A and B are shown apart, each in its own frame.
Chain A
Amino acid sequence: MPEITFLVNGKSTVVEVSGDTPLLWVLRDTLNLTGTKYGCGIAQCGACTVHIDGQVQRSCVYPVSAVAGKNVTTIEGLSENRTHPLQEAWIAEQVPQCGYCQSGQIMTAAGFLKSNQHPTPDDVDKAMSNNICRCGTAQRIRAAILRAAAAMNGAPGQGQSKATGGEL
């Protein structure tokens, strides 16, 4: 087995696995980074989305040999203590239900907001329509991305959180 070296969430990582192993399974089974999810295995659902050198990628079809020397960011490395504006917006909009697809949704959205700082709702729809959520949270995801974009642009007043009855 070859040794493959790459960065995961800023940390240098060496794995010894067959080079055709999809990055997804190296993250989950070899490195125990289980925040990245298996949903379909054929790049159809987006649950496995990560960033490779800043680009949004489906890790279930991305052979680990191709990440040698590259920088992989997973949901675990998106921020310290859930402080990414998207994570804060996800909580304010009370987005997740079962939550299983949400790592991939957030990573897809994070990549999208890097390329489009002033998205319209239609832009968001276009960027997110290849991620599947069976709990039907799309409307809330859209609202959360627009909320996060506004926050990243320093817009004052993000509107009320969905849960106005109290804080956690």
Chain B
Amino acid sequence: MTTTSKPQVSRRTLLKSAVTAGAALVVGFEVPQIAKADPAKAAVNPFRAWVRIDRAGQVTLISARSEMGQGISSALPMILAEELGVDWKDVRVEQALTDPTLYGDQGTGGSGSVAGSWTPLRQAGAAARVMLIGAAAERWKVSPADCTVRNGYVHHQSDKIAYGDLVESASKRPIPDLATVPLKSPRDFQIVGKPMPRKDIPLKTDGSAQFGIDVRLPGMLYAVVERCPVFGGKVKSFDATKAKALPGVRDVFEIPAVPEGVHSWGGVAVVANTTWIAMQARKQLRIDWDYGPHATESSESLRRQFRRIVDSPCKVVFNTGDADAAISGSPAEKKVEADYELPFQAHATMEPMNCTVHVKPDGAEVWAPAQGPDWVNGVVAQATGLTPDKVKVHTTYMGGGFGRRYQADFAVEAAQIGKKMTGTPVQLVWSREDDMTHDFYRPASYHRVSGAIDSQGNILAWKHRSTSTSIADWWDRKSPPESSELGCTLQMPYIAKNYKLEYLPAQSGVPRAWWRSVEASSIGFVMESYMDELAHAAGADPYEFRIAKLGDGRKIGNPLNPKDTALEADRMKGVLKLAASKAGWGSPLAAGQGRGIACHFSFNSYAANVAEVTVSQGAVKVNRIVSAVDIGIAVNPEGVRAQVESAIVYGLTAALKSQITIQDGRAVESNFNKFPTLAMNETPRLEVYIVPSEVAPTGIGEPGLPPVAPAVMNAIFAATGKRIRRLPVIPSDLV
């Protein structure tokens, strides 16, 4: 059960002893990012989350991370319980309120919740265990080394004392150095690595889980906002006479755009007694729009721009050897050149954007289904003119995140409306149409890859020139536009003698940002499709070709960001081998069927997929996907499997069915009738296998996605000889 509260401990007391709160033992975790960035600040803000053990022995984990279906409400207690020596299901998880001074970055994303919590949670659990053992050993006058812990008790021979009875004396003991506190060996794990049920699931079977859109407060009103259909447009003037005349409408007013940092569009807000009345009144608005500078943009105009860009040399981002010379010196039959295209994609979370705000003269309370509640805190403070400490943000369950809920545009709109309605709680609800036509989309991109193989089947040259509607270009012009777009091309896993990367951004008014697996969703498709093309050009089996080109014992760092974790080619081979063996790679298939393989490294995790498809009469049916992942230790294997299944289906929808097209500067697809998703009867048999590991966990919310589209397209090629280079697949590509 997730509840909201703040640890009952004053920061001053905490700083003195780091362990206090009278009746409770409280242990915090360090915030390494803050410590690194600013040692002085780290001394003021030593902790990001807390473990509290009270006199009744109740263990509470106050977590700054959000639950969006990725299963952290079980995975995090499992990690803590393992080191602390308690039953994991007795660990209560409380959702922390936002407080940047206490928790640092509270964002949930980048597949980082478990990976980022692993070491601090273990250290906190181990530190508390050491203190509890110390207190018990002192009472018994025995050596701590002779004591053990189990299920909330410290044991010594036949004696045992419950943690709750030790809390008072334990809390007076010095807190061990977290960096050197003894941690369990993975071989001794009793909880981590076992498939455990998710704590939030029962609440999601009877309608009782409260999502952001389910928040109900006494006297609450509902609001919708009419935004300009054209990206970047704004209100010139409006007439709300008819809208205001509808019974139940409480107010109609304009809210301004907040371009800086948030990219909210502004528009005309309608506040009413119910969501439905607000939606109906909105239809009665007469708005004269200034469509702005992007009103003629279309997917076709963008495509023309993309092709113009890649027809000429672009900025060289990375270069080793001389790929151009190697290609031009190769005979035609050894050269492969291919263009790949990917469209904008909407997140289309099942719960549309929404946010509830109650602004009072001296403070504001916010209920936000948000991946970045600390960001919400900041933007609400700014929009209401309050200081951040006067803004209390409750993070609710989220009906899907996938990166969309990392934004704060919906929160700033709610705050603007809430401020106008000061004293009355207001829930801002986006309609599905609002959500789909005002998303921050996965960038559209265009890639021209050329290369050559030599007579022994080695990759002689690989040159990847690409352009896209860069995320960095949109959000943060301080970073080069390519910084958000290149992904694993900067950690080329395969041995290529000459390798060159070129990039230039395209100009577009379409908002874009982080969509599940971000640039890896596009880069994975391009690299793994091209790798397949090279394998076929070399007359090699696509699986064997990959294994051979990964070499032995290779570690590939990121030349532009040397601090990035190196790609270990042997781990990539590990997932390829596991997926291929479980899928029966090489075994015969029926006529019209094909099998394809692909792998990718993202979020420091390794994933490989084998897809089996049937193609007939211009339709593709994916029958089976076998996936293997190496994510280090799988804390909750059942949660890991669920995340990979989810990433596969999300990736299949984007590969086979959905896209956002642009016409007249606006998104064409506005609801699920135009943005089809993979239905149950189209969902293949999904099998997920996990490579056993004893290294620290890495992310799994996203890494299963990038190898989906290329595995399927490679399977289509195996079945039909048709190479699909533009997503999503359309029937005419298959006949």
Which A residues form the contact surface with B (CB < 8 A)? 1, 17-18, 21-22, 25, 28-30, 32-42, 44-45, 47, 74-76, 78-79, 82, 86-87, 90-91, 94-103, 106, 122, 124-126, 128-142, 161-168
Contact of A135 among B69, B216, B274 (CB under 8 A): B69
Main secondary structure of the interface of A (DSSP, over half): loop
The 6 lowest CB-CB distance pairs between A and B, nearest first, are A35-B207, A136-B649, A165-B194, A100-B399, A99-B204, A97-B69
Min Cβ gap B139→A in Å is 31
Bound CA span A137–B274, Å: 31
- Contact between B276 and A129, CB atoms less than 8 A apart: no
Q: Write the chain A residue with the least CB distance to B193.
A: A165
Min Cβ gap B91→A in Å is 12
Give every chain A residue within 8 A of B216 (Cβ-Cβ): 32, 34
- Contact between B197 and A41, CB atoms less than 8 A apart: no
- Interface segment among B2-10, B438-446, B676-684: the answer is B676-684
Q: Given known contacts A35-B208, A90-B201, A165-B195, what 5 new A-B pairs fall within 8 Å (CB)?
A: A37-B399, A76-B206, A128-B680, A134-B677, A138-B649
Min Cβ gap A135→B in Å is 5
- Encode contact with A along B372-405: 1 for CB under 8 Å, 0 otherwise: 0000000000000000000000000111111000
Instruction: Say yes or no: A132-B638 contact (C-beta < 8 A), given A35-B207, A38-B275, A98-B399.
Output: no
- Contact between B197 and A161, CB atoms less than 8 A apart: yes
- Contact between B210 and A134, CB atoms less than 8 A apart: no
Instruction: Say yes or no: A166-B352 contact (C-beta < 8 A), given A44-B671, A97-B69.
Output: no
Give every chain B residue within 8 A of A138 (Cβ-Cβ): 649, 678-680, 683
Instruction: Say yes or no: A36-B642 contact (C-beta < 8 A), given A100-B399, A136-B649.
Output: no
Q: B432 on the interface (CB 8 Å rule)?
A: yes
Bound CA span A129–B679, Å: 5
- Contact between A87 and B196, CB atoms less than 8 A apart: no
Q: Write the chain B residue with the least CB distance to A100.
A: B399
Interface bin, chain B: 35 or more
- Interface segment among B167-175, B343-351, B551-559: the answer is B343-351
Q: B474 on the interface (CB 8 Å rule)?
A: no
Give every chain A residue within 8 A of B648 (Cβ-Cβ): 136
Contact of A38 among B199, B213, B673, B685 (CB under 8 A): B213
Q: B200 on the interface (CB 8 Å rule)?
A: yes
Give every chain A residue within 8 A of B672 (Cβ-Cβ): 39-40, 42, 44-45, 132
- Contact between A168 and B205, CB atoms less than 8 A apart: no
Task: Write 23 A-B pairs (CB below 8 A) sorted by A numbering.
Answer: A25-B275, A37-B211, A37-B351, A39-B352, A39-B672, A47-B350, A87-B206, A91-B197, A99-B201, A99-B204, A100-B351, A106-B205, A125-B681, A129-B681, A132-B672, A134-B400, A134-B677, A137-B646, A138-B649, A138-B678, A163-B195, A163-B196, A166-B194
Bound CA span A87–B646, Å: 21
* Beta-carbon contacts under 8 Å, B192-234 to A: 194-211, 213-214, 216, 222
- Contact between B685 and A101, CB atoms less than 8 A apart: no
- Contact between A139 and B685, CB atoms less than 8 A apart: yes
- Contact between A76 and B207, CB atoms less than 8 A apart: yes
Q: B458 on the interface (CB 8 Å rule)?
A: no
- Contact between A102 and B351, CB atoms less than 8 A apart: no
Q: B88 on the interface (CB 8 Å rule)?
A: yes
- Contact between B350 and A100, CB atoms less than 8 A apart: yes
* Beta-carbon contacts under 8 Å, B666-704 to A: 671-673, 677-683, 685-686
